Structure 1
């Protein structure tokens, strides 16, 4: 491994392992290899499409260049060879792997192999830089991969130790991300022909207007214009641009939550959410780009209220119609300028019409050698006129120009478009043209792809190949359904520009534009097995949640949180389907499997609302469903503001989990019950709390649930700490820390380190306390865990206050306060607080110095505050 490659790490400092294989025949093996890699705390680099031309060669070349180890999996197939290519993506990946990269090659025992794969394997065997071994099944493969990677790492560590550590220390520079503001995505294509409208929006934004709505029918280019504007003005707004996508939001009362999520405010289920949003945005110079507002048009007052309360916030909204609220400036998008086909011969400038330029540009993306000529110019102009200059319609037609010359394209449009648009007289004219173009494009793909398109209408957001395959399998008794190859059909839909493909991290995903998704969903509702498709959709994500449940507790936690964040719209849609179809048990199970995701990701408020629907259904619930719903609603409520009335329901939840055989669930319920008993307002019950917490610990140990055991130990330790039993509290925290480190659970480790730090500080060991809080802060930053970062800053505030360093204490305290306000965590009620340490400073001669520094801390970015936190203190002041 050369020095340059040795320095490349994932954001959390793990080595990258690039996995190359065909996909469909090796799906179980790929999953087994992923698990083996993650168990060794390495980062798998795997493409959903396996060895196919998408993602493009440039992308997997870049990932190979940034990877440390190559793992190749081979069975019977050579892989698909794309048009214009001579080798498959499978062979291309092997060839592109750098010569000095360690290569581990695993070949599945098979009776037959495709001839070109045999040739490839012969060349691999002759490569003295590749280790080559056969395997029988995925279990054997996983064991081989684990052993080979462990041996390889040991060897590489020995040779690299003199150069640099394989596992970098926490002293390496951190990329601190807090608030998780969602940036506008990069536009899928170049904008053409909107120069006037672009200038108008920019003039408004850079002038006195703070609320601009871009209007127009579906497919006219509103979102593209807004994205171009956002990237143009991002430097004009000190706090950046946040992208709020409402494509999957249909209820007006969810708009506030969508905006809050886009700027990184956590939904913890407590407090006034509108108020939280205003607190988080106060004092920030920011543009909110709110896309697809037409389906929640009644929520316009939400935006108006934000502008009234927050003078530094500006809004750029896209909608099919104006919101008609005060302060709104409308910019309407119409069709692109059209040429006059009858004047092209004597006036060639007609071919400079924006609609023609767009058509030519999009054709060249699929047919690079396309040129406007005297023979095809009139037909191109007529195509644009037939499509009324609607950009989406033009792009869909251009995608067919790879196989249809303009004359034939025009002829097909003339035959089909009137028939497709005439049946929708209730729609505006331009909308009918766009809908007709979508329908026309769909009818040009194979029948199996048309059926797949309809079924893909079930997705609320982007989706993977595996998810598409799961919902595409035929329903029992559905004649002719699902006969196509999903990969081939997806490729046909991508080629027709009906689907778009993007990479999210190491995963390839598909997505539809909003107007296309509407048509797909309408087609889905016309299928006789539409309900079955929805059920398969739900089943896929429920299975994903079951896979995620334990993965969220270990070394791959952040990987899974990121993946689930990508699927957030689909997760919400699945839950909505389960609730709307009154599948209470499935809804509770789905919520429970993702419990740690809702917690870590700041979505517990949503989970609480869903489970309230289950409890309020008035229908009989089985014990496990009731226990789960009670836990989400009562335990979450307790975490915010404890109340004695919650105690009976938490006890019933614990008993329900026990009766259902769910011991970890029982343990979690007893933890919350114990806390409620201790903190109940009238009166506290410390004896009952101790008993409940010991029962929680016993349940976790009986179940062999080490994650739950660590959680219980921390909670018991907190109570012992508050009671002044420092030695026993330290023992509990140390045991929890040991479990977390053995599991590779960095979130749990951060929590345990934080609590150890408090014991050390209360024992007068300020230096050791500082070290523990710094470890907690480092881990929390790497996890992008806002609450953990706030706790770390607050712990270091207490250390600085104890040492008499008022300026440092004030600076860190101010930064922590702002972080909590920006992320909606300011109402959270911590068990251990800095106030006794800070109060001593405020009661002393350094109070003015502390408050001045506190003000400066509030003006710091969190990244700058973290940098200050890791600087060595100037020394104690007496």
Structure 2
């Protein structure tokens, strides 16, 4: 095991990484073809997509280049955008920064290339590191790239070079980018016929809802992932939803929304938001492990019937809804089962081969476990310490005894559970104990969480124990940037939970689980607004299911104060990830059932419920309850909570009709005074944004400029990208209303770069609406229409068109719809077809006045 990095465990699979450089907008089809070709060869495509990762774009592609093994350049007509302060485009910069690795260049035929791109291509043709060829379209590129990379692999590379794996950055909260299926590092064995049937169902026959059924461990998820890779290029996108952590069918749509980037606004039913966001998008939605939330089947059927989305479900049971097409998955054929055993055995013992001396033993092993893929993998993992004959002997003696005790389960399920039991019994007692304790996690965990659950009584370090579980294929390891993340297959987790419950220890370790997340929430809440925001937000996205499990356990255990403390600590996170409706239901439960809760806990729950209601619909009737809460917090020395309640009252005065700006500014000033006295610059910045908005709405532009400029002058010390982006947007609108278009353009330019760098599409939409106004102001109706249309598409895909009401562009829109309706609507329609990266490119083009 590689121990170069403390706390990092590497799997035996180290895929070569292929960096793909191209412009985003003009070569979208070619980029999809390149990804498909690279993944078909079981390699890792490294593709920079603007706004898809929580890192600054330039530093991101530089880091990816340093960790890549092959450089692929795809060029056509555009030279690409040149960032402010840079001499060359990102396209040329990527080529310049490429390390000493093989370079494959593909040039799409064209008679009208940008001269700057021609200069770059001349340099490329003279580079002796480069192999280049011309092509016509995406299909030809896919064939060429597949052939060239396959040849390169045979000539130049040996897998398993020891280079550290490419980190997998956590998805940015609030991102519109789809949650992609997890990477598959091993070939699909014995399921080619089933894969062809799935392709026929979903592509040829146009089936919209297909369910792959079968017992646990039969390979349903693996087949679905293979289908995603095979069919992905034929869809507009593929989103993956793991339903295994869920217990409540009512949360399935929330999980789907998160996977497709829809943030629940609470103002429109989530099913309607999803239907609006997905609409006619031709995408593939994979729902994995649906059996324990089968009650959501009608909602899933409605989602498929009311949108253009194709839904592929894996489940132990049918959904039993209209339009469902079933593919039942059975055990592997014997020859495929033996091949799978050999392939998995080589992962832990590279020199393993099927031979005359062990072939019969391998066949007996596969027969003993009913040719179930997961059971085969668990058995094969033991060849590191046991020979095939020893494994076969142990299985044939042990499994019949174990199966006898599980007659209530289907036959194949008995075999699988017994195989897991057999594999677990080969562990040392402390390794076995950790396996069971890890069953309290719903989806995954970091090393510090495993260490907390395991406690201090273990003789060996938790890291060493985890290594043994990984070696036995009972736990999987993944990279999340500079963090390591661990998961268990649903069947293994179910086994661990059942055994922990049988030992009467599930409640004990659920307590430990909840205590860990109470502490984690407190630590995150203290830093999530500030310079550590992105690091914490990325981790909390991973921990989402565990946080939910902890809250639900605390509520079920009537630990009201602890539940409220955990939820209140992460109020910013719940908002940015669209969990406010769920939070409101949690806190309402405290108010309804938590008679034993402390007065403080009940007050915090009350203010949370009221504020969420106010966000959905400002109502002056809520001023009284918020005032009572603010008075309570003030009397008990909780200035931060008091400031939040006061800001909520101000919000009501600003956005109720008619607004009362004098009252709003009075409450905002009280709130600002409180947080400044607490030396809390981050909450103070949020209050200043509200003050700036109030000044703009009432026409007090000098007041808005004063407070916003004071923040921006010191924004580097804040280090909070979302706050900075919001300030820049408000300052840009103040400049527009004051007639300073140059200042406005610069503010929106900075905002869109900040939002793109952290993957915050809502911020991009706000900036695009600002650029729309500046373009229209100089007479460029076509550009303005495109940018507004692109902003509307982002909001639609977020399922949250209501957020546009927080912008100031409505009056500009009304004017242009009256003065240039035809030209504007045509451009607006065109803009709605732009993806985010293309819209950002259009926005960052310098504006020029249009001659009248």
**TM-score (structure 1 length as normaliser):** 0.77
User: For residues 623 and 702 of structure 1, do their structure 2 counterparts lie closer, same or farther at Cα, with a shift above 3 Å needed?
Assistant: farther
Q: Distance in 1 between matches of 2:85 and 2:396?
A: 64
Find the counterpart in structure 2 of residue 93 from structure 1. Answer: none
Contact 2:560–2:594, Cα closer than 8 Å, also in 1: no
Q: Does 1:542 align with 2:538?
A: no
Alignment CA distance shift 1:320-1:642 (3 Å): same
Residue of structure 2 aligned with 1:525, choices 481, 501, 506: 501
Matched, 1:449 2:431: yes
Paired position in structure 2 for 1:335: 331
Asked whether the 8 Å contact 2:13–2:185 carries over to 1, the reply is no
Tell me if the contact between 2:733 and 2:808 (Cα under 8 Å) persists in the aligned partners: no
Mapped contact 1:214–1:317 kept (Cα < 8 A): yes
Matches of 1:359 and 1:399 in 2, distance apart? 9
> 1:710, 1:735 within 8 Å by CA — same for their partners in 2?
no
2:766 touches 2:807 (CA, 8 Å); kept in 1? no
- Residues 249-290 of structure 1: CA deviation (Å, up to 9, x unaligned): 111111111111110000232211100000000120101111
Equivalent in the alignment of 2:33: none
**What's the counterpart of residue 296 of structure 2?**
299
- Find the residue that maps to 2:593 and give its secondary structure: coil
SS at structure 1 position matched to 2:805: coil
Equivalent residue number for residue 398 of structure 2: 416
C-alpha deviation, 1:297, in angstroms:
1.2
Which deviates further from its counterpart, 825-834 or 857-866?
A: 825-834
Distance across 1 between alignment mates of 2:628 and 2:89: 48
Query: Between Structure 1 and Structure 2, how many residues are aligned?
Result: 707
Which of 329, 333, 343 is equivalent to 1:361?
Answer: 343
Contact 1:796–1:869 (8 Å) recurs in 2: yes
CA distance in 1, matches of 2:222, 2:413: 17
Q: Secondary structure at the match of 2:529?
A: coil
Q: Which residue of 1 aligns with 2:607?
A: 631
Superposed displacement of residue 516, structure 1: 0.4
Matches within 5 A, 1:316-355: 316-338=312-334, 353-355=335-337
Q: Is the 8 A contact 1:770 1:796 kept in 2?
A: yes
CA distance in 2, matches of 1:676, 1:527: 53
* Equivalent residue runs for 1:26-425 within 5 Å: 49=7, 54=10, 173=90, 178-187=175-184, 189-208=186-205, 209-237=207-235, 239-310=236-307, 312-338=308-334, 353-425=335-407
Match of 2:839 in 1: 865
Match of 2:802, SS state, is: coil
Contact 2:13 2:347 (C-alpha < 8 Å) held by counterparts: no
CA distance in structure 1 between the partners assigned to 2:298 and 2:83 by the alignment: 54
1:661 match: secondary structure? coil
Query: CA 1:808–1:664 in 2, change beyond 3 Å: closer, same or farther?
Result: same
Q: Is the alpha carbon distance of 1:390 and 1:620 closer, same or farther for their aligned partners in structure 2, counting shifts above 3 Å?
A: same
Could you say which residue in structure 2 is the equivalent of 1:852? Answer: 826
User: 1:647·1:677 contact (CA, 8 Å) conserved in 2?
Assistant: no
SS at match of 2:240: strand
In the alignment, the residues of structure 1 paired with residue 181 and residue 85 of structure 2 have an alpha-carbon distance, to the nearest angstrom, of 32
User: CA separation in 2, counterparts of 1:825 and 1:171?
Assistant: 37
Shift of 1:188: 5.1
Deviations 1:114-145 (A, max 9, x none): xxxxxxxxxxxxxxxxxxxxxxxxxxxxxxxx
**Contact 2:558–2:594 at 8 Å: present in 1 too?**
no
- Residues 493-508 of structure 1: pairs in structure 2 closer than 5 A: 493-508=469-484
What's the counterpart of residue 157 of structure 1?
none
Q: CA deviation at 1:581?
A: 1.3
Residue 83 of structure 2 contacts residue 89 of structure 2 at CA under 8 Å; is this kept in 1? no
Structure 2: runs of 5+ lacking an equivalent: 18-81, 95-171
Alignment partner of 2:813 out of 823, 826, 838: 838
Mapping 1:422-441, distance limit 5 Å: 422-441=404-423
Distance in 1 (alpha carbons) for counterparts of 2:589 and 2:84: 47
d(CA) in 1 for partners of 2:722, 2:532: 11
What SS is found at the alignment partner of 1:324? coil
Give the 3-state SS of the residue equivalent to 1:547 in structure 2: helix
**Residue in 2 aligned with 1:88?**
none
Tell me the alpha carbon deviations over residues 208-262 of structure 1, each in whole angstroms, 9 at most, x when there is no partner: 222211100000000000000011101101x211111101111111111111111
**Cα displacement string for residues 490-522 of structure 1 (whole angstroms, at most 9, x for unaligned residues):** 111111111111112222222111100100111
Instruction: Give the 3 Å change call, closer, same or farther, for CA 302–188 of structure 1 in structure 2.
Output: farther
1:230/1:611 Cα in 2 relative to 1: closer, same or farther (>3 Å)? same
Distance 1:421 1:655, change over 3 A: farther
| 1:352-751 correspondence runs (5 A) | 353-473=335-455, 482-681=458-657, 684-751=659-726
Q: Is the 8 A contact 1:270 1:605 kept in 2?
A: no
Taking the aligned partners of 2:659 and 2:730, their CA distance within structure 1 comes to 23
Instruction: State the secondary structure of the residue aligned to 1:463.
Output: strand
Higher-RCO chain (CA-CA 8 Å, sequence separation at least 6): 2
Secondary structure at 1:457 match in 2 = helix
* CA deviation profile, 1:816-868 (whole Å, cap 9, x unmatched): 11111110221236344212112222222x22111110111111112111110
SS in structure 2 opposite 1:242? strand
2:543 and 2:378 map into 1 onto residues whose CA distance is 27
Q: Secondary structure at the match of 1:189?
A: coil
- Extract unaligned runs of 5+ from structure 1: 1-20, 24-46, 63-164, 339-352, 475-480
1:786 aligned residue:
761
CA distance in 2, matches of 1:170, 1:718: 37
Q: Does the CA-based 8 Å contact 1:376-1:406 persist in structure 2?
A: yes
